[in-house]
Chain A
Amino acid sequence: MMQDLVVHLVFIGYALAVLLLFGTVLTWVERKQAAIMSDRIGANRAYVRIPFTQVKLVWWGLFHGLADGLKMMLKEDFRPNSYDRFAYALAPWVAFTPVLLVFSVIPFGGTLVPAKLLPDASALAAWFGDRTYSMQIASVDAGLLVVFAFGGLTIIGAMLAGWSSSNKFSLLGALRAGSQMISYELIMALTVLGLILIYGTVDLNAIARQQSGVMLGFLPAWGIFLQPFAAILFLTAAIAENKRIPFDLPEAESELIAGYHTEYSAMKFSMFFIAEYANMLTASALLVTLFFGGWDVFPGLAFSAPPWSVTKSIVTFFAFWTKTLFFYLLYIWIRWTLPRFRFDQLMDLGWKFMLPLALANVMVIAVASWGLVAGGIGLGHKGALALAGMNVVLGAVLFFWYDRGRVMGGAAMRARRTMRADTVSHLGGH
């Protein structure tokens, strides 16, 4: 029992460190990548000087994140004149905590065997015996449900912040955040539903384990190869959930100053900020777990299967983080490419475009998996391939018919819409 406690405390400490400290480094990563993508060099000045020497550790400006964090701590904690004291102080925590909770159910590596950690450490081996731990803070059977339950809570943080700071812009931002996140949460859940149909479980570690096989002798059995279409939808919905560009309407600078956290400063603002970056990290971790094999290393290397050794634990750990960072970089890439949507476009995209697609996806997957099981092919790898084929058909529909002019209506679309509305009111008038 003591052993379990120790291991889990280590895991918890690690998760906090990653999400908080690493989060500050990630802000620097974002700045740097943004600069490189726009032909600049980017933040490369901040350094740490070793005391009493002239040795400056610049490290390409890696300390910019820390400098920003330090600045935030030393800033004046400004509060607006009239505000709801309780909700105002509560909001950053409500926005921030769920992100940590979501991360707690994501497996970040294979299985850890503490007894093997140190060579010839008989005391450690004796104390831990043959206990094994999956690298996951909370191995909950309902992992995916926990993700959605707590992921939904971040909206409340944004809403509280917007409402309590008694500022019109904050309130507008909060309203936008609310409607946007609710719309896209639905899509996210529907997308994952199709995945649950295939995997047959909501335990994230079990999902990761299922993906560690090989298809057709060379293809890893990752979710992306079974459901590429769902992966794209999930990625889009996740960006919208994180309120990132092109879906950053809740904090659109040109329209709303800073949206729901306009009235926040110093560490309270910083918490929203860290929450956003940690949220991004969690979203990419989730994407990796659901669609890219989680901690599974490329098949054929036999790193993801028992018996577990220390090497295997470490390799799977880094496999998970490499993939997660890749998707983090993808998020930044998307952010610095696309312009922001208009709000009606955002809602159109959510309800008229992605929701039908997600529903169609679930339908196709459900019918297909039923057909495959009934037809005797089963949901093995052959069946998976058939599913991938259906996804390709769905993707073709998306690219060559559905996408045309429906997402970004532009001026012509708006004109047509108002014309229709005029006609309706005209008819109603008579």
Chain B
Amino acid sequence: MAITVKTVKRPAPGGTSYVRATLRGMRLTFKHVFQKKWTMQYPEETSQQGGEAWTISKRWRGTHRMSVDENGKAKCVACGLCPQVCPANCIKLVPGEDEKGNRYPLVYEIDEFRCVFCGYCQEVCPEEAIHVGVHYQNAEYRREDFVYDLERLMKQTHEVSTLWDPADPKGQ
């Protein structure tokens, strides 16, 4: 869209009335007293319970999740692209190799505390292994608990994020 300048039309001197505008505003706010309240009483009701008004977007980038293949092993091949691309430097990866020469992660840890949830790791992953998820309730009592290891990432069950809208892949 081309950038345009919007000219706001100001009323001429003598064309505005404060008292009347005040009364109109007060009528408006009074009407809102009787309107539907939009508050979500958070801990008791959450968007994940599937309420009408409160659903999170499928493109939400939240807690990570590692995809698993049919044998129950992580899809990750320890290529090292995600720690490379991660702007927050929160992914720790130590690659290993089995006897057949297949690479796999010896250590794979994501510090959810450092993570900025940009979703680059999901975007860059050639195996579609690591994902950001449609999930936001990951509070913990201790700092260490925010470091998710491979096992924990594989155990996550929430929906994975659709980084872009499939109907509109270019984001237009």
B-contacting residues of A (Cβ < 8 Å)? 35-42, 333-334, 336-338, 398-399, 403-405, 407-413, 416
Contacts and interface: CB of A to CB of B under 8 A. Distances in A.
Nearest to A41: B39
Given A403-B17, A404-B16, A41 B41 contact: yes
A411 B14 CA distance: 12
B13 A337 contact: no
25 contacts: A36-B32, A36-B37, A37-B29, A37-B33, A38-B32, A39-B38, A40-B39, A41-B39, A42-B39, A336-B29, A337-B29, A399-B17, A399-B19, A399-B20, A403-B19, A403-B20, A404-B15, A405-B11, A405-B13, A405-B15, A405-B17, A407-B19, A410-B10, A412-B12, A412-B13
Contacts of A416: 13
B39 to A, nearest CB: 4
Most central of A337, A398, A411, A416 by chain B CB within 10 Å: A337
A164 B11 CA distance: 44
B44 to A, nearest CB: 11
Q: Would you list the 9 A-B pairs with minimal beta carbon distance, nearest first?
A: A407-B18, A405-B14, A41-B39, A337-B29, A337-B25, A403-B19, A408-B18, A405-B13, A40-B39
B30 interface: yes
A408 B16 contact: yes
A39 B32 contact: yes
Nearest to A42: B39
Contacts of A412: 10-13
A409 B25 CA distance: 18
Contact of A403 (B18, B30, B32, B39): B18
B22 interface: yes
A320 B152 CA distance: 64
Interface in B57-94: none
Interface residues of B, number: 26
Nearest to B18: A407
B35 interface: yes
B30 A333 contact: yes
A90 to B, nearest CB: 38
B36 interface: yes
A61 to B, nearest CB: 12
Contacts of A333: 26, 29-30
Given A337-B22, A338-B22, A40 B10 contact: no
A37 B28 CA distance: 9
A37 B37 CA distance: 9
Given A337-B26, A412-B10, A36 B33 contact: yes
B36 A39 contact: yes
A60 to B, nearest CB: 13
A325 B30 CA distance: 17
Interface of B: 10-22, 25-26, 28-30, 32-33, 35-39, 41
B7 to A, nearest CB: 12
B13 A409 contact: yes
A179 B26 CA distance: 28
A416 B20 CA distance: 23
Nearest to A341: B18
A407 B39 CA distance: 37
A339 to B, nearest CB: 9
Nearest to A349: B18
Given A36-B37, A40-B39, 18 more contacts: A36-B33, A37-B30, A39-B32, A39-B36, A40-B38, A41-B37, A41-B39, A333-B26, A334-B26, A336-B29, A337-B26, A399-B19, A404-B16, A407-B19, A408-B16, A408-B21, A409-B13, A410-B13
Nearest to B40: A41
Nearest to B24: A337
Nearest to B25: A337
Contacts of A36: 32-33, 37
A336 B22 CA distance: 12
Given A39-B35, A41-B37, A411 B19 contact: no
Most central of B12, B37, B41 by chain A CB within 10 Å: B37
A409 B10 CA distance: 11
Contacts of B37: 36, 39-41
A85 to B, nearest CB: 42
Contacts of A338: 22, 25
A398 B18 CA distance: 11
A418 B25 CA distance: 30
A186 B118 CA distance: 59
A78 to B, nearest CB: 28
Contacts of A413: 13
A408 B37 CA distance: 33
Contacts of A37: 29-30, 32-33
A132 to B, nearest CB: 42
A36 B31 CA distance: 10
Nearest to B38: A39
A413 B91 CA distance: 59
